[in-house]
Structure 1
Amino acid sequence: MSAIILLAAGSSSRLGQPKQLLPFKGKTLLRRAAETAVEAAAGAPVVVVTGALHEELLPELVGLPVMVVQCKQWQAGMGASIKTGLQALEMHARPLRGGVTVMLCDQPFVTTSLLQQLAAAATPGQPIAASQYNEVWGVPVFFGVEALPLLRLLPDAAGAAQLLRQHPELVVSLPFPLGAVDVDTPEQYAALLASPG
């Protein structure tokens, strides 16, 4: 299985409270995402990238076999966090032979199965496997070894979606309608709690 970068660096400015610590079905969004990542990675390394709320998030990761790194430049954008996570993985003892999956902590319907399907869907000719929802490609997204140089060159202010738009010929997609559910505002969190999913 591929290594996984779980992004949890934002300050949740639009929400007014740390989204990472919002409870959903008995666990915080961060704990739920981290447990899903660990299960999907099946022994491959998992790195959680924090930023604004580093100290506050650490208790949620206790007992999980994850590396936690703080992105000092988290305000610069998602690209800075992705590259921080990638650097941490590349310093790990094992090389990234299986590629890397990038995921967020505020997509509560991401499953172990989805993450594994993304990693399995990529091919040498299409080394990027993206989730598809709302007629766009997005995260979670798997980058095969051939595509990792693109991640290393990602501008700080850009996210993975920019690479998907720039290199559509490299992308295979998997339908994930529930990928559209994330938590950036109080209204979105209220809708999540009211959802039957």
Structure 2
Amino acid sequence: MSAIDCIITAAGLSSRMGQWKMMLPWQQGTILDTSIKNALQFCSRIILVTGYRGNELHERYANQSNITIIHNPDYAQGLLTSVKAAVPAVKTEYCFLTHGDMPTLTIDIFRKIWSLRNDGAILPLHNGIPGHPI
């Protein structure tokens, strides 16, 4: 199988949640730890986009060779700014795009989406509503 990058966005304020989601406990670590661990079961490298509290995430993940950290100074302007910040770092023909607060994405989900790849983007739907990973 080819090398595959995975962009994981972790730049937002978690304003709808009322508290920052990325470092909330989940299983043996945090929500973001688990999201990264699960993605790395299928993907060869994570492009982690930080913004809000980016220094904390940099300290936590900077020493991992399979994680490239991109800081998005414009994170408050929305998700698209994080995607635009990450895309130049993608080195693989295909890549996944997901969020750091999705710790339940399993290797089976990544495999299923990978099996459906073509020349365009794949956008999963749930009850007709678009979702992630892309």
CA contact (8 A) 1:2 1:119 kept: no
Which string of whole-angstrom CA distances, capped at 9 and with x for unpartnered residues, describes residues 3-61 of structure 1?
110000001123232110011122201111111122211x3x32000001101223442
Residues 126-165 of structure 1 aligned to structure 2 (within 5 Å)? 127-141=120-134
Unaligned runs of at least 5 residues, structure 2: none
Unaligned runs of at least 5 residues, structure 1: 90-94, 142-197
**How many residues end up aligned between the 2 structures?**
131
Instruction: Compute the RMSD of aligned alpha carbons.
Output: 1.7
Question: Which amino acid counterpart does residue 134 of structure 1 have in structure 2?
Answer: N
Counterpart-to-counterpart distance in 2, 1:30 and 1:21: 6
Higher RCO, Cα 8 Å, sep 6+: 2
Q: Secondary structure at the match of 1:21?
A: coil
Alignment partner of 2:31 out of 29, 32, 43 = 29
Which string of whole-angstrom CA distances, capped at 9 and with x for unpartnered residues, describes residues 89-109 of structure 1?
2xxxxx422x11101111221
Q: Percent identity?
A: 23
Moved over 6 A (4+): none
User: 1:79: how far off?
Assistant: 0.6
CA contact (8 A) 2:62 2:69 kept: no
Residues 1-197 of structure 1 aligned to structure 2 (within 5 Å)? 1-41=3-43, 43=44, 45-61=45-61, 64=64, 65-89=66-90, 95-97=91-93, 99-124=94-119, 127-141=120-134
Question: Which amino acid counterpart does residue 114 of structure 2 have in structure 1?
Answer: A
Larger proportion of helix:
1
What is the TM-score of this pair, normalised by structure 1? 0.61
What is the TM-score of this pair, normalised by structure 2? 0.86
Q: Secondary structure at the match of 2:132?
A: strand
Counterpart-to-counterpart distance in 2, 1:27 and 1:62: 17
When Rg is computed on C-alpha atoms for both structures, the one with the higher figure is 1
The corresponding residue for 1:192 is none
